[in-house]
Amino acid sequence: MSVRTKTGCDGCSRRALLKGLGLAALGPLVLASSDCTTVGTPDTGTATTCSGGLCIDLADATNAALAATNGSLLIDAPSDTLIVIRKSSTTVVALSAVCTHAGCLVGFQQSSQTVYCNCHGSEFAEDGHVLGGPARRALRVYSATLADPLITIAI
């Protein structure tokens, strides 16, 4: 006569038990990995066409993020979406915001001063070159100047 002890899986198969344990073990990993590398996509600002290309008026409330150092905004250009990053009181950077790997929009990660794609984890320097893949090609860089209260981007 065998003695059977009660378990939390009374009557279930070994396969069901192992499947349940596997799912329970993966849950925290999925939650942790999705939380640690997420970078928000910046808000979208407004720009107008001007003699130098595109002009972003810093006095416009929708562009307020670019009034402060390390602020960033997405700007829709005629043939691209740009990410504009305020680096200092006199310097701005303008890059294509379209990841060269799969076409997702990138965001600026202030803590590491990098441009990051949430879709597959590509990381770019502020000069557009690839720091980490899967992207292999650099982001397009646009010439940008700041003369308060306007940022002008040559497109």
- pLDDT of 97-128, one tens digit each? 999 999 899 999 999 999 999 999 999 999 99
Task: Report the topology of domain 48-153.
Answer: Rieske Iron-sulfur Protein (2.102.10)
pLDDT digits (tens, 9 = 90+) for 7-20: 444 555 555 545 55
How many Cα atoms occupy the beta-carbon half-sphere of 35 within 13 Å? 6
Least confident of 3-7, 90-94, 136-140: 3-7
The string of pLDDT tens digits covering residues 55-79 is 999 999 999 999 999 999 999 999 9
pTM score: 0.73
CA proximity to 74, closest of 38, 111, 115: 115
H helices within the chain, ranges in order?
Answer: 14-36
CB 126 within 8 A of CB 115: yes
CA distance linking residue 70 with residue 126, whole number of Å = 11
